[in-house]
Each structure stands twice: as C-alpha cells, then as structure tokens.
Amino acid sequence: MRLLSPPAALYRALMALRAAAYVRGVFSAWRPPRPCISVGNVRWGGTGKTPVCAWLLNWAAENNKQCVLLTRGYRAHPPRLPFLVESDASPHEAGDEPLLLARSNPAARIVVDPKRARAGKWAWDAWQPDLFLLDDGLQHMAVARDVNLALLTLQDLDTDWNRVVPSGPWREGPSALSRADAFLIKLPDLKMMNASLRERIDHQLGTYKKPIFFFTPLPLLLTNLRTGERRDDLPSQAEGRYLLFSGVADPLSVEHTASTFLGRKPVRFDAFADHHPFSAKDVARLAQKAATANTDHLVCTAKDAVKIRDVLPQEQEANRGPIQAPQWWSLDMSVRFAPFTTDAPRFEDWLERRLTQV
C-alpha cells in the first residue's frame, strides 16, 4: 500500500487541477437551458447511482416534468451518437444500466453518448425537456449542473476514506466532495441509523456543511422473466429455495436485500463482476447449479435481467425433457430516503426547494 501512495497522490493532484481548471473557465462547460441534476460519486461503482437515477426519473414523471438523462453508457456500443435508448434496444447497443432505465421509466428519454454536452444539446433541440439528469456526473464537469448529488457508502466514510486509485477505489480526493450540494449515504438497512453512525458521518462530512440524507434499497416485486408475472414472493412450490446471482458492484447489498425481502437466504449465491455480459453458457451453468441445489427458481437484479432475457433458451426448448424448466425472476427495486436527523426535511422536499432556487 505504501508503494502506491506516490502515484495515488499524483493522481489526486491531477484531478484537483482539472477541477480547478473548470472552475476558472480554462475548460469550458455547457450549461443546459433547464435545471440539471447530477448523480455521482467519488468511488468506482457500488454506490447506488442507477436506482437513485431511476427514482429521480419517476419523481420527475410524477411531477409532470419531461426529463432527459445523459449517460456515457458504460460498455455500450451504440450504432450512432447520440443514441436514444428505446425499450427494444439490445444491452450491447445501449449498455445494461441505460436500457434498464429506459424500460423502467418510459416517460423519460435516456440518451447515451460519452460526450454528454453534445448529447444534451441534441436532446434540447429535439424535445426541450423540463429537466436534465446527468448520470455519473461528479467528475464529468463538461456539463454544468444546478444540483450536485454525491453518493457515498459506509466504506467511503471509514476504511476507504481518501484512498485514491491506484491505492484504493476513489477517483478523486476529499476536495471533490466540496462540489456537492447534498450527500446521499447508502445503507444496507435504515435500521442501521444510530447516534454512533451519525457521529462518524459528521466527523467526515461536517466540515462541508451540506445536507445529508440516507437511502437504502427498496425491493418492490419479483417479475418472471418469461411470463411477466409479478408477485411479492416466490411460488409456494419453490418451498423457499432459490439461487441468487448478480453482476453488480455491491453483491453483498444484493444478497442482504433479497434475503430480507424473501425472508430467507438463497441456497446458493453466485456473484459475477459488475456489468458481466451474461451469455447462453452462463444461463445453462446457472440452471445446472440451481438443479444441483434442488431448486428451479433463480433470482437476479433488474440490471442483470435486461441481459438474461436476451439469452434465455426458447420456452419449448427449456421445457424439453422430464426436468422442470427453471423459473427466472427479476427483483425489481427502488430506493427509500431518510433525513440525517429527525428535524431535517425529507429529500423530496429539499430537492423541490433547491430546484425553485435555480
């Protein structure tokens, strides 16, 4: 770790210089004609950006705001740029997270382009939206924003604090947090909120004097990937047994959420790398592992499901032979917010007031 300290310090300094260059106007930034909310973090993944973006898109729709989300589309291979993600796009074209957001938020427009200023100008000319949402935007300063939401994990506030690449998972040093308008801290469970945790958070973030909110995954329903059936538990014939798998940056959070929602731990949990491109061979292996574990039910996240759907065998092929065809389920999620203290405003109320000041 000590050997990595000099390159980490150099990287931290370079990122700070880059941020200062934008502030001083050395590098130009495009300012959207309508309010822009950025959702970002200081670490490489695992902070819950996608479910928070999904919540914001749903919040915008409920408030009759036409919203455009600008995203680079990690591992996306769009046929053109900018690329409007339609619900029938492939994960290869759109990327798993943009496709998930497009399918779960049909009132919004999801635009993939590494040059998000170009995508924003294109979207404005096409639709004149009421609101822009900048995905993974804390470091993407080529687009100006009016509300900067910085997402943090408990590890960020403890063992990972100021551990910048290559010595840790942070993309910038703590000075980057001064750009935030509010901090959103991801908790596995809101029951974890207590005086000791608040004291630790205040020690790390108190000097920034910015609003702090907690959020936690909120499981909604299970969706059958073949039939579209939606339910709040597995079928009775499953006898509570299921195989869980995920290709996300925080697999332990997935396991905790699924176990809490279904009332039991999985008989097997297979964790893949974040954004894993699931193949037909992966599906076959998972089905075999489920059969070995004496279950026909496999559960994954909605982010995984957009890729699994494309590689499931045809139903007639899956039902061939004496073995019961496996049932594939997506655990559909949202998020739940809570204020840092009991006398603080709700996140929704704070956000609405903040946008009226733009």
52 plus 133 within the same structural domain: yes
Whether 79 and 179 share a structural domain: yes
- 3 domain-assigned: no
Q: Taking residues 268-297, report their average pLDDT.
A: 96
Residue 326 covered by a domain: yes
In this structure, what are the phi and psi dihedrals at residue 246, rounded to the nearest 5 degrees?
-155, 150
Domain CATH number, residue 120: 3.40.50
Give percent of the chain above pLDDT 70.
Answer: 96
Q: Is the pLDDT of residue 325 over 90?
A: no
DSSP, res 324: P
Answer yes or no: is 5 within a domain: no
Same domain, 173 and 238: no
Q: Closest by alpha carbon to 53, among 117, 99, 118, 90? A: 99
Question: Residue 279 domain-assigned?
Answer: yes
- Residue 328 and residue 108 in contact, taking contact as beta carbons nearer than 8 Å: no
Query: 280-292 and 302-311 helices cross at what angle (nearest 10)?
Result: 110
pTM score above 0.85: yes
Amino acid identity of residue 45, one-letter, is G
Give the phi and the psi of residue 77 in degrees, each rounded to 5: -130, 70
**Residue 172 maps to a domain:** yes
Give every CB contact of residue 346 below 8 A, 6+ residues apart in sequence: 337, 339
For residues 84 and 124, membership in a common domain is answered with yes
In which domain, by residue range, is 252 found? Answer: 218-335
CA contacts within 13 A on the Cβ side of 109: 21
117 shares its domain with 260: no
pLDDT band of residue 324 (cuts 50, 70, 90) is low
Whether 7 is in a domain gets the answer no
Q: Are residues 135 and 44 in the same domain?
A: yes
Are 241 and 258 in contact, with CB atoms under 8 Å apart? no
Is residue 237 very low, low, confident or very high in pLDDT (cuts 50, 70, 90)?
confident
pLDDT band at 17 (very low <50, low <70, confident <90, very high): confident
pLDDT at residue 10 in the model: 85
In this structure, what token pair is assigned to residue 117?
A: 């200023």
> Do 286 and 201 sit in the same domain of this protein?
no
The answer to whether residues 254 and 301 touch, using CB atoms and an 8 Å cutoff, is yes
8 belongs to a structural domain = no
Residue 74 and residue 48 in one domain: yes
Question: Who's near 235: CB < 8 A, 6+ residues apart?
Answer: 297, 327
- Do residues 34 and 17 lie in contact, with contact meaning Cβ atoms separated by under 8 Å? no
Number of domains in the chain: 2
Q: What is the pLDDT of residues 78-98, one digit of tens each?
A: 999 999 999 999 999 999 999
Q: Average pLDDT of the chain?
A: 93
The answer to whether residue 275 is domain-embedded is yes
Are 273 and 155 members of one domain? no
Whether residue 183 is found in the same domain as residue 222? no
Residues 180 and 87 in one domain: yes
Q: Do 157 and 231 share a domain, yes or no?
A: no
Determine which of 34-48, 91-105, 246-260, 319-333 has the lowest per-residue pLDDT on average: 319-333
